[in-house]
Amino acid sequence: MLQGWVIVLTSFAYLGLLFAVAYYADRRADAGRSVIDSPYIYSLSLAVYATAWTFYGSVGRAAVDGVGFLPIYIGPTLMIALWWVVMRKILRISKQHRITSLADFIASRYGKSALLGGVVTVIAVIGILPYISLQLKAVSNSFTIVLQYPEIVMPAKLGAVPLLQDTAFWVALILAAFTILFGTRHLDAAEHHEGMVAAIAFESLVKLVAFIAVGAWVSWGIYNGWGDLFARSAAEPKLAAMLTPFDGVAGSYSGWVWLTILSMLAIMFLPRQFQVTVIENKDEKHLNKAIWLFPLYMLAINLFVLPIAFGGLLHFPEGGVDADTFVLTLPMAEKQELLALAVFIGGLSAATGMVIVETIALSTMICNDLVMPVLLRLRALRLNEQPDLSGLLLGIRRGAIVFLLLLGYLYFRLAGEAYALVSIGLISFAAVAQFAPAALGGIFWMGGTRLGALAGLGAGFAVWFYTLLLPAFARSGWLPLGLLENGPFGIELLKPLALFGVGGLDNITHAMIWSMTANIGAYVGVSLLRAPGAEETRQASLFVDVLRRPAEPGGPRFWRGTAPTPELFNLLARFVGLANAAEAFADYARRHGQEKPEAHPEADAELVHHVETQLAGVIGAASAHIMVASVVKEEALSLEEVRAMLDEASQIIVYSHRLEQKSQELERATQELRAANERLTELDRLKDDFVSTVSHELRTPLTSIRAFSEILHDNPELAVAERTRFLNIVIKETERLTRLINQILDVSKLESGRAEWHESLIDLREVIEDTIAATSQLFKERDARLVRRLPAEVPKVVADLDRIVQVVLNLLSNAVKFVEPGRGLVEVTLTEERGFLRVDVRDNGPGIHPADQDVIFDKFRQAGDTLTGKPQGSGLGLHISRRIVEHYGGRMWVSSRAGEGACFSFTLPLAREAALA
């Protein structure tokens, strides 16, 4: 079933399906229900990293040196761990400045330099070109191979074909048309290509499924699982060596490490990665999930690389089949037509995904950072007077896409056969790695300057060109091979593959060491030579401090100058169309609460900045700056002024930090005040309770004194015995009153802290003995027994003797008061604990209900219902006792169960040695 027309038809059907996906996503986006607004789609779109190079080339590389393909995916995993720090910053910057491409990003950082943007674009185009041609090669090779079915013939053996019969040529043209349809159907001010992203995400799924399918089939279809496969490989002497690929010396790992570093940089600075990661990002939060989902994708697509590589090597032991094609030739050799077709489609997705995104990214760069700045400066073209330039912009981009693909084809045609897939990809990686110092330095280091970035990029690129591209040309036969063997003009020190005599490294490691040295050295060195200018300082501050500034930052603060509003409006309309321009102005009006900004004759600085940002979203920062400058009467700011403004800005930040602190402090103080207020209210309520309780307690004896006094007064003829009895009651009640008032005074003194304490060393045993003696009358009256358990001798404590007597007396009299007359038993125990003396007074009275055990220490609280039960005391004794004990650092508590008596205990800390002396 693998006839030519089936393959072509399937391919076109697949491309049609892709287009349908993109069309659907675009429609949904227009309706405001974006399908790509999801972290999962975002993660899948990042997988555009896995190109045909991954799909076919990984196996090829694995078949040569075992694990050499892994750093290309492990490096990005490590880099992505740093994305939380690095990429969040780049995303924030790019959204605020409406960055349209990597070139725009770097140009914008270094003072919106059009020259720098152009240089980045040129490097990117030259560096990526081999990579694009690699995709063309992969598609056309796989197509050619499938066509030969059931024979397995390598394309290189088929010989040169004329242009019009060359599949790669047609592939290039079809892809160009397809990319134009995807990427440049209309001009989007935000440079978002929702349809393209949806299609890319879909392709990522297709290539993953296809690769895993063929991997699983090789592992379990041809062989009996991985164990069988690797055991057979270990039996072959040639393959066994690849199971331990490092040859034991530390030096053999350096190539591995440099490949890891190279891939770490590539994942950030490949134009297509920058496009999907930064430009097409819908929401900064999508990054979170992508940080682990995307590495997981890379792990999954690499899982079967080694089994396929070893399977291929075992299956075609005589060679003659290129390892780069194992993914396809294994199913073909086993007559699995459907699987072979699936692989072909998988490879097609990998290649088309890469080509589409890469050429869109590069065409944006070519248009915004290379062609437009030049066109705008050419006054002869009178572009300033054109009413609508959006057609021109689209035209340039479409032209750039065709140009790039034809150039890629040319490279393929002329040089394609000299290298395996992986080597070509690595040359491109090394080229984009040159952007790293300027881009990463630019977001973390204020001191990097435009000249420094130019010097670094220039030096790095020159070294890359000399050590990687020239040798590639030489091997393709464009240059004499003698250049590699003897150096230029026979100068050995300048040999491109062993610069300054440093040999013995693989070409990528060698090129990376020298180009990074030159790049970073020149960037830092030249930056330090001269201080940055005004525009550079301003942009540097906006980039480096982006996370510390509030959104919509400082542009306006740095602007001084105004522009006629109509001219500004027309300028914007020329690039984005009338409707979009009106929309942008309306948006500005909404956010600033202005009626109609276009009605004012003079636009203020903020509106000018707004227009420039909008424009930057279409033509890039550098071009936008040129365009706006042509209508704005900007007063040039001197470096001193920019510095002053920056200082002011950073002071404002400091102030706002302080303000935030102050307001937090204020909030804390408010809370404390509120708590204090609540406590005061509570205290006030307690005081009211106290007063009313006291009045109540005082009134009871007073009432009875008054009643009996009145009886005595009104009945002079009362019998003497009766009179004496009444007078006795009056005396008793008066005593009770006195006692009560004394206790109330005591409480108030204790509570206000005005109580007087006369400390001395006292012997608690003696105190207890004395108090027992003093209460013996009470015990006799109620016929209660008292048991004492006192040690012969105890250490002394420091306390006020009278107060402690008061406490013990209170406990004893309470105990005897509550026991049943005639059967009462009170136990007094004194024990020494660690650092404390403990006194327990246990009785066999009715006990105290658990609910009451806490409240009996409160003022005027007694166990039981005070209204019905007969009050047996003032309700202040325990409260005072506890306060006294706590004053000396002791504790007082009660343990009891209803019906089983109660045990009141208190502790007093022992006197310290010093006090004893």
Partner 1 sequence: MGEFDVRGQRLAALCLLGLLLFNYPLLAVFNVQGALFGVPVLYAYFFLAWALLIALMALVIERRG
Binding site for partner 1 (CB under 8 A): 66-67, 70-71, 74, 77-86, 88-89, 225-228, 230-231, 234, 243-246, 248, 250, 253, 256-257, 260, 288-289, 291-292, 295-296, 299, 303, 306, 547-548
Q: Give CA separation, 305 vs 261, 702, 725, 754, 762, in Å.
A: 21, 104, 115, 88, 90
For residues 597, 600, 603, 605, the Cα torsion angle rounded to the nearest 10 degrees is -70
d(CA 901, CA 623): 95
> How many other CB atoms are found less than 10 A from the CB of residue 45?
29
**Do the beta carbons of residue 133 and residue 51 sit within 8 Å?**
no
Q: Least distance from C-beta 657 to partner 1, angstroms?
A: 11
d(CA 476, CA 428): 17
Question: Cβ closer to partner 1: 292 or 478?
Answer: 292
Question: Cβ closer to partner 1: 238 or 754?
Answer: 238
> Residue 3, exposed/middle/buried by CB under 10 A (0-12, 13-18, 19+)?
exposed
Q: Least distance from C-beta 692 to partner 1, angstroms?
A: 51
Question: Cβ closer to partner 1: 285 or 699?
Answer: 285
Buried b / exposed e along 300-331 (16+ C-beta atoms within 10 A): ebbebbbbbbbbbbbbbeeeebbbbbbbbbbb
d(CA 160, CA 176): 23
Name the residue among 133, 153, 159 with its Cα closest to residue 472.
Answer: 133
Question: Cβ closer to partner 1: 251 or 480?
Answer: 251
**Do the beta carbons of residue 285 and residue 39 sit within 8 Å?**
yes
Q: Least distance from C-beta 70 to partner 1, angstroms?
A: 6
Phi, psi of 341 (to 5 degrees): -65, -40
Q: Least distance from C-beta 456 to partner 1, angstroms?
A: 23
Site of tokens 């001197």? 638
d(CA 55, CA 51): 6
Question: Cβ closer to partner 1: 92 or 723?
Answer: 92
d(CA 807, CA 904): 11
**Do the beta carbons of residue 802 and residue 844 sit within 8 Å?**
no
Q: Give CA separation, 702 vs 688, 729, 730, in Å.
A: 21, 11, 9
HEC-encoded secondary structure of 400-437: HHHHHHHHHHHHHHHHHHHCCHHHHHHHHHHHHHCCHH
Question: Cβ closer to partner 1: 260 or 562?
Answer: 260
Q: Least distance from C-beta 3 to partner 1, angstroms?
A: 39
Question: Cβ closer to partner 1: 296 or 675?
Answer: 296
Gyration radius (Cα) of the chain, Å? 46
Q: Which two tokens stand for residue 631?
A: 């209508």
Question: Cβ closer to partner 1: 253 or 500?
Answer: 253
Phi, psi of 716 (to 5 degrees): -65, -20
Question: Cβ closer to partner 1: 70 or 808?
Answer: 70
Containing H/E element for 894? strand 892-896
Q: Least distance from C-beta 240 to partner 1, angstroms?
A: 8
For residues 293, 294, 295, 301, the Cα torsion angle rounded to the nearest 10 degrees is 110
Q: Least distance from C-beta 377 to partner 1, angstroms?
A: 37
Q: Least distance from C-beta 146 to partner 1, angstroms?
A: 30
Q: Least distance from C-beta 747 to partner 1, angstroms?
A: 50
DSSP-derived 3-state class of residue 150: coil
Long-range Cβ contact pairs of 226-232 (< 8 A, separation 24 or more): 226/307, 229/307, 229/310, 229/311, 229/314, 230/310, 232/314
Question: Cβ closer to partner 1: 257 or 669?
Answer: 257
Q: Least distance from C-beta 858 to partner 1, angstroms?
A: 43
**Do the beta carbons of residue 471 and residue 497 sit within 8 Å?**
yes
Q: Least distance from C-beta 547 to partner 1, angstroms?
A: 6
d(CA 471, CA 477): 10
d(CA 83, CA 105): 17
Question: Cβ closer to partner 1: 88 or 887?
Answer: 88
Question: Cβ closer to partner 1: 216 or 299?
Answer: 299
Question: Cβ closer to partner 1: 80 or 365?
Answer: 80
Q: Least distance from C-beta 75 to partner 1, angstroms?
A: 9
> How many other CB atoms are found less than 10 A from the CB of residue 889?
14
Phi, psi of 799 (to 5 degrees): -165, 175
Question: Cβ closer to partner 1: 125 or 433?
Answer: 433
Q: Least distance from C-beta 265 to partner 1, angstroms?
A: 14
Question: Cβ closer to partner 1: 20 or 240?
Answer: 240
Q: Least distance from C-beta 288 to partner 1, angstroms?
A: 5
Question: Cβ closer to partner 1: 78 or 825?
Answer: 78
d(CA 526, CA 22): 46
Q: Least distance from C-beta 471 to partner 1, angstroms?
A: 27
Residues 6+ apart with CB under 8 A from 653: 548, 549
**111 - beta bridge partners?**
none
Question: Cβ closer to partner 1: 299 or 915?
Answer: 299
Sequence length of the chain is 917
Q: Least distance from C-beta 476 to partner 1, angstroms?
A: 33
Q: Least distance from C-beta 47 to partner 1, angstroms?
A: 14
> How many other CB atoms are found less than 10 A from the CB of residue 692?
11
